[in-house]
Amino acid sequence: MRAFLGLVLLMGLVKKPTISSYWNEGLTHRLSRTPGFGEVMTRNRFQLLLHVIHASDNAEPTPRTQPGDELLDKFRPMFELVNKSFASNYRLARDVCVDERVVGFKGRHKLKQYLANKKKDKWGLQMWVLAESESGYTHQFQASVGRKHGCARPPGKQNVGHRVVMELMQPHLNKGHHVTLDSYFCSPGLCHALYDKGTFCTGTVAVRRQGMPKSFNVPKRGLTRGQATSKVQGPLLAVLWPDRKVFTMLTTLGTPRMEDCPNAKGRTLKIPSVVNMYNHTMGGVDLGDQFIKLYDPRLRSCKLWRKALFEVLLTAAVNAYVVYQRCWLQSRKLGRLPFQESIVASLVGDQVTSRSASKLGPAPHPLRLTGRHFPGVLPQKKRKQCAVCRGRSRVRSWCPDCGVGLCISNCFRVYHTVLQLRSSAPNEE
């Protein structure tokens, strides 16, 4: 199974149109064949494991506390396992963000949704993700069941965005974190609720949200471009800034002051500090998406949970790279591609299929069992320990070709004729 997961990750590095094309052989495919896949596992074996792999036990009952939870029976054990692992292996910085992520899928499933604002994957499973703003480390995520299956706002309760953010931030409340949100999640009520729990919040907000200042609801033609307007309600600051679009921001950490910021053309403009802070702390989930899509194998499947399983595998590989970059003390560190290759090599290990093992033939003999070897005397009156008997006294006789010390009486013959030695030298090969 480790070799199977390693091949799945390797398919993200070596991309081909179909699964069977990775095992193509013969003169027709001599320029594009990849013999490494056939050496690790046969094609039929890989496709069989891909067919029978499961992420949960169908016979084990799962608790259901909210409407639509029966649709997540295939996902919940897998998500709970990786969320626990992600949380225990990394400590989040102060700045975090909450956003959505899509697992591309065009098959038939009740959880499949259409998201028009996505450029690449408009159809698929929508997930709510808590990530670190600077590194893109995915800390927690949960699947969305959609409005049709229980995700709609119950009467008299908070909306979906409020509930999702509070659930994802539940282990991190009262720790001084700063969470950045977009207009789908952010609201005055959520900012006050997070502030009461010792957590700061910044985000864009719809001007028609409940609790927003009524003076902000004005047409764009009645505003002066670049002139910001701010309102304060206790710890909450609301900022209206008309630019090419009208931006409405909420924050419990920023200030209403204006500061200089260079734009894409190199010009220095005056913008509110809240907008600048939002631009620097909102891209954590998108950064993680870029890392995931970089080496995505894009395996086709009619099962949505299988697509989610491979998404979790890629997310774990990205998180491992972030932990390696942050916590490894070595001065020279591997890049993204060499690190991914090292993960594949460690998962595959020495797994070799029986067919490829027969093609390879027997292992070659070490150097000490081949060729002609003659004893010699160590120069400059040096001495070495015998590589066979490991005696207390050092000897002056050695084998110049192998570079080891050997007793001239019997050990020289044993070292160059016996395959398995009780005590072998470190450089005997």
DSSP state of 154: P
Query: Is the distance from CB of 261 to CB of 271 less than 8 angstroms?
Result: yes
- Give CA–CA dist 308/363, Å, rounded: 41
- pLDDT (0 to 100) of residue 55: 81
Measured CA to CA, the distance from residue 121 to residue 101 in angstroms comes to: 10
What integer is the mean pLDDT of 63-71? Answer: 62
pLDDT tens track for 21-37: 999 987 788 888 898 89
DSSP state of 262: E
Residue 150's pLDDT is: 53
pLDDT at 63: 63
pLDDT value at 121 more than 90: no
Q: Is the pLDDT of residue 390 over 60?
A: yes
pLDDT range class, residue 369, cuts 50, 70, 90: confident
The model's confidence at residue 366, banded by pLDDT at 50, 70 and 90, is confident
Confidence of residue 155 (pLDDT cuts 50, 70, 90): very low
Query: pLDDT: is 354 or 118 the higher one?
Result: 118
Question: What letters, b where the CB count within 10 A reaches 16 and e where it falls short, cover 257-274?
Answer: ebeeeeeeeeeeeebbbb
Alpha-carbon distance of 53 to 309, in angstroms, equals 10
**Mean pLDDT, residues 200-207 taken together:** 92
C-alpha count within 13 angstroms, C-beta hemisphere, residue 319: 24
290-312 pLDDT, tens per residue?
999 999 998 888 888 889 999 99
How confident is the model at residue 208, as a pLDDT? 87
- CA 367 to chain CA centroid, Å, is 43
pLDDT digits (tens, 9 = 90+) for 238-297: 999 888 888 899 999 988 888 888 877 778 888 888 988 999 999 899 999 999 999 999
For residues 426 and 122, the model is more confident at 122
Return the higher-pLDDT residue of 312 and 354.
312
Tell me what the mean pLDDT of segment 337-363 comes to: 77
Give the sign of the dihedral formed by CA 333, CA 289, CA 265, CA 226. negative
Q: Are strands 178-181 and 95-104 parallel, antiparallel or unpaired?
A: parallel
